[in-house]
Amino acid sequence: MLGRLNHVAIAVRDAEKAAKIYGVAFGAEISAALPLPEHGVITVFAVLPNTKIEFIQPLGETSPIAKFVERNADGGIHHVCYEVPDIVATRDILIAEGARVLGDGEPKIGAHGKPVLFFHPKDFSGALVEIEQS
């Protein structure tokens, strides 16, 4: 049911600036900045051989990550994303086990153009978990 680690997200004030060192120092491919208004963020990815680092910056003052970035001015790990073969079936199993899905519970299209859902960190040892349809 659980697939590979898709990415680790780091919330920052400036996603392009934060990603730059991964390209310069490590030779990682850096994506263009992509605004995702439906998620309230701008994303930039650093592509590594075995996973990706997603840098997310708030898109406006009402962004769901604005307070996180305010509390963590230098940035910080925001969430981990795992691939799953069937996002709806996985959601239903997790809910049946007591996990709380964030938002309205319906998958939304994420930065990779695939359906995603987020689950409450209190249900995953303090880690905000995103699942993405593989």
Residues identified as active-site:
130
Tokens read off for 21:
């060192």
| φ, ψ (nearest 5 deg) of residue 7 | -165, 160
Distance, in Å, from the CA atom of 61 to the CA atom of 112, rounded to the nearest integer, reads 24
∠ Cα 92 94 97 (to 5°): 110
Distance, in Å, from the CA atom of 120 to the CA atom of 34, rounded to the nearest integer, reads 25
Residue 128: DSSP 8-state: -
